[in-house]
Amino acid sequence: QMDPGEALILLSDGVVEAAGVGLTPEVVAAEVGRAGDGGATQILEALQATADRALGGPQSDDHTFVVLKRLAV
């Protein structure tokens, strides 16, 4: 069960492997926190931008994010 405002983030192994160049779980959590009350799209865009900055060049593996966020209703 997810409470209003909670988010579930799923990452592919390519994202996890990018942790070696700075995309650590702590960095991902910080980006999600910075997205604040934004929706899933805002969280996704922040994560994609962070992955691009961390890798600094062509990616050698896929980077898949699934972001689910429960809205207050």
pLDDT digits (tens, 9 = 90+) for 15-44: 767 666 667 778 878 888 888 778 899 999
Higher pLDDT, 53 or 2: 2
Q: How much is the mean pLDDT over the chain?
A: 81
Element (H, E) at 51: helix 40-55
Phi, psi at residue 70, to the nearest 5°? -85, 125
pTM: 0.77
Q: How far is CA 34 from CA 14, 44, 45, 65, in A?
A: 23, 12, 12, 17
